[in-house]
Amino acid sequence: MKRTSLAGDSCPVARALDVFGDWWSLLIIRDASLGRRRFGEFQTSLGLAKNILTTRLRALVERGILKTVPASDGSAYQEYVLTPKGHGIFPILVALRQWTEEFDEHPDEIATIMVDRDKGKPVKKLALLSQDGRVLDAADTTLKPRPGRKTARHRVTA
């Protein structure tokens, strides 16, 4: 079954999901954020079939999230590194992690905590801040059309 493309959707959340919305891609990006660079490292970490990993890596390169570079050890292999666009996904991964840490039914089974590398202290929970520094939640926000655009309609796709 072919997935519906959300690339042309007017909703930025739908567009983002179109770029990296499947869970394998997010796990590859997570691993790249942790310093994994080689095909074999991704495969060992994820336990993913070679054909699926190849497809996901190719798509992430095509979408500008990863790029290939010569192997750092001078061998004939290539490595995958995050681009600036790929590094921009890090706060999304942190938000997913923190959501799980807060709402998971078995938080004691989570093997790691995220800490500040320099200080060794746990990272504060992400917060959405207003222009004046107030913490906002969903009830404090709304959407409005961009200047010069009509109100957007969002497609609902399965």
Please report the pLDDT score of residue 158 as a whole number. 43
- Strands (E) in the chain, as ranges, are 66-70, 78-82, 128-129, 135-136
Residue recorded with tokens 């970490």: 45
Let me know: does 32 contact 80? Beta carbons within 8 Å.
Answer: yes
Quickly list DSSP for 108-151.
GG-----B-TTT-PBPPPP-EE-TTS-EE-GGG----PPTT-PP
**Which residue type, as a one-letter code, is found at position 121?**
K
- Fold held by 12-140: Arc Repressor Mutant, subunit A (1.10.10)
Which one-letter DSSP state was computed for residue 37?
Answer: -
pLDDT in tens, the chain (158 residues): 556 777 777 788 888 888 876 889 999 999 999 999 999 999 999 999 999 999 999 999 999 999 999 998 988 899 999 999 999 999 999 999 999 999 999 988 999 999 999 999 999 999 999 999 999 999 999 998 888 876 555 554 44
Cβ atoms within 10 A of the Cβ of 73, count? 8
Please report the pLDDT score of residue 28 as a whole number. 97
Helical (H) or strand (E) element with 103: helix 90-103
Please report the pLDDT score of residue 13 as a whole number. 83
